[in-house]
Structure 1
Amino acid sequence: MRLNSAAKQIFVGGVHRSGTTLVQRIMGSHSEIYAGREFDFTKDIAALRRRLHGGHESGRIADLVNKDDIDKAVESFTMKLFERALRESGKTILCEKTPTNALVMADLCECMPNAYCILVLRDPRAIVASNKEVARKYFAEGLRPPSFCASVSASIKDINETWRKGLAAAEKYDRVKAILYEDLIANPERVVRDICQFVGLDYEEGMVRPAPLEDRQNHVSDQFWYTKEELAKPISDNSLEKYKQILSPSEITLVERFVVSYPLVQHYGIGQQSPSFLDHCAMLWSKFNALKIIQKIRARLRC
């Protein structure tokens, strides 16, 4: 069975630790949707597309291809990569979840006319707290965590970049839908029905009782991100206030003052007060502490 190029594609993205895995579980519980593990390379394909467009605009490759040729080739290449997985699953619709998809949702809408994007938003304090826990696991094993979660300041930077690009795409393209993690937890059926209507699929009751992601523990880094129990638990709200137990009051203040607010996220109470001089000093201290730990890890690995 060859992949139908006219079939819908669904791309889920958002800040790391914002609930994108839960959305992927939900979408994968639909009878028509294949939702595999993170692909990771959508951002790189989008970067290649932009380079090719730049080559055309400069005239360098204008006699070889036009922009439409480039976009069709990028769409075909992207979907070709998933052809075997879709065929073996017996499903017809791809749902690809990688957090960094949020950075390239505009590109996906421009070059893939059948692509629908779901941008997941979450309380930034909860995101930073979750990243902090992940970083602790890496540090405990003497390993360097991914840059975006190595410190509170790095997590804030990741949130700001992801929200800026993701929300800009949502404002410009009607095939990008932003959802709030807290809304999904509070009223899963309503939110999932909205998502199904958005992508043009029938809602199925089993979607709010998503199946476990049993294939997510086969990579060495998976142990730092989630347990098998977390990948199997039902939709619940028992983690919404957990950040208060993980972040210090000063760290919460940094998130509230340095994360940029947008209309969709104003209710989180961020950006209401400008950072003070002491806040900027605290941000630098956060970076410095993370750097010291990373340098110790490097030194240990060299021994």
Structure 2
Amino acid sequence: MSLKRSLNRALAATTGLQVRKAPRPSAPPPPPAAPVYHEPAAEDRLLRRPVFVISSIRSGSTLLRMMLDTHSRLRAPHELHISRLEVGYGSSVSEYAMQNLGLERGDLEHLLWDRVLHRELVRSGKDFIVEKTPGNVFCHERIRDSWPDARFLVLLRHPESIARSWHESDPAKRPYEKAVTDVLRHVEAVDRARETLDDACTVRYEDITADPGRELRRLCRFLGLDYEPGMVDYGRKGDPELKRGLGDWRANIRTGTVQPGRALPGSGEVHPALLPYCDSWGYTS
């Protein structure tokens, strides 16, 4: 009699339990395929000429969106993370039905994204929506495919300042080296987007904090809007308007006015991994 069988009999007699062979670990499921989608027909989109901010985390995108939202024709809500909204099929029949309408999963997601943004725009009573989620940088090509008339603002900040700000926002969770690793992924994506979005308007966080009126005038010209002086003082904000996870929520942004930016890092203070992007973006240390 085998040892396993003897153990099973003994255990069963005393406890009612048995030794069973552990199941083999299954292979991890393959990653989902990229959604298929088509170029949208004009009637497929409710939104016209939406504006998307392309930036890294901790680049001042909340400050920019707060100022843009004060414009009488621009609605710039908190981060909406629309690219994370996905569509699934409840059955193969529903998938087949949609495909017979010429709609793949990516097309359905684009319709959902468009509807969510259009709903928020209509509720505001304004003319154009601005979406500023930093995750947009990883899907800017799909955003452009979804809205061929979309306009883009590329927001830059000194890469070392981004890394330090990200580290300081939660030092225990993000030691400096981990913060640099996190930021590097975003910075690389911003750099790729700058090459792809050759018709975008680029603005620097440091220029916004130094002379917000000048930079907002430039952005308004790009968007075909009249500058409104009230954009600089966007008003003191409280908890209902600024929530963690939907953009910056700290003391500076709550003041309602543009606060001075931190001093740029000096020579030798930039992490080596970030140096190429400092040079590419015109920052010297």
| TM-score normalized with structure 2 length | 0.68
Aligned alpha-carbon RMSD (Å): 3.6
Deviation of 1:216 after TM superposition, in Å, equals: 5.1
Q: Which amino acid aligns with 1:40?
A: H
What are the residue-to-residue correspondences of 1:100-249 with 2, within 5 Å? 100-136=135-171, 139=172, 145=173, 150-214=174-238, 219=243, 225-228=248-251, 230-237=253-260, 239-241=261-263
Deviation of 1:23 after TM superposition, in Å, equals: 0.6
Q: Which amino acid aligns with 1:171?
A: E
CA contact (8 A) 1:102 1:162 kept: yes
SS at match of 1:161: helix
Q: 1:165 to 1:232 in 2, by over 3 A?
A: same
CA contact (8 A) 1:29 1:207 kept: yes
Q: 1:32 to 1:125 in 2, by over 3 A?
A: same
Q: In the alignment, which of 28, 31, 49 is matched to residue 72 of structure 2?
A: 31
Deviation of 1:37 after TM superposition, in Å, equals: 1.2
Separation in structure 1 between the aligned mates of residue 231 and residue 119 of structure 2, nearest angstrom: 24
Q: Which amino acid aligns with 1:28?
A: D
Separation in structure 2 between the aligned mates of residue 40 and residue 6 of structure 1, nearest angstrom: 17
Q: In the alignment, which of 36, 48, 53 is matched to residue 7 of structure 1?
A: 48
Separation in structure 2 between the aligned mates of residue 105 and residue 154 of structure 1, nearest angstrom: 25
Separation in structure 2 between the aligned mates of residue 105 and residue 17 of structure 1, nearest angstrom: 18
Separation in structure 2 between the aligned mates of residue 261 and residue 168 of structure 1, nearest angstrom: 13
Q: 1:155 to 1:41 in 2, by over 3 A?
A: farther
Deviation of 1:219 after TM superposition, in Å, equals: 4.2
Separation in structure 1 between the aligned mates of residue 105 and residue 263 of structure 2, nearest angstrom: 46
Question: Greater CA radius of gyration, 1 or 2?
Answer: 2
Q: Which amino acid aligns with 2:193?
A: A
CA contact (8 A) 1:30 1:204 kept: yes
CA contact (8 A) 1:170 1:177 kept: no
Q: In the alignment, which of 114, 130, 136 is matched to residue 95 of structure 1?
A: 130
Q: 1:40 to 1:72 in 2, by over 3 A?
A: closer
CA contact (8 A) 1:104 1:165 kept: no
Separation in structure 1 between the aligned mates of residue 141 and residue 165 of structure 2, nearest angstrom: 27
SS at match of 1:30: coil
Q: 1:153 to 1:178 in 2, by over 3 A?
A: farther
Q: What corresponds to 2:116 in structure 1?
A: 81
Separation in structure 1 between the aligned mates of residue 170 and residue 253 of structure 2, nearest angstrom: 18
Q: Which amino acid aligns with 2:178?
A: A
Q: 1:220 to 1:202 in 2, by over 3 A?
A: closer
Deviation of 1:232 after TM superposition, in Å, equals: 2.5
Deviation of 1:98 after TM superposition, in Å, equals: 1.2
Listed one character per residue, the Cα deviations across residues 70-99 of structure 1 (whole Å, up to 9, x for unaligned) are 765444321211333222221221111212
Q: What corresponds to 2:281 in structure 1?
A: 265
Q: 1:158 to 1:121 in 2, by over 3 A?
A: farther
CA contact (8 A) 1:36 1:95 kept: yes
SS at match of 1:197: helix
CA contact (8 A) 2:157 2:205 kept: yes
Q: What corresponds to 1:301 in structure 2?
A: none
CA contact (8 A) 1:15 1:158 kept: no
Deviation of 1:9 after TM superposition, in Å, equals: 1.0
Deviation of 1:160 after TM superposition, in Å, equals: 2.4
SS at match of 1:261: helix
CA contact (8 A) 2:51 2:130 kept: yes
Q: What corresponds to 1:55 in structure 2?
A: none
Corresponding pairs, count: 234
Quick check: 28-37 or 95-104, which moved more? 95-104
Q: What corresponds to 1:256 in structure 2?
A: 271
Deviation of 1:177 after TM superposition, in Å, equals: 2.7
Higher fraction of helix: 1
Structure 1 unaligned residues grouped into runs of 5+? 50-59, 140-144, 270-303
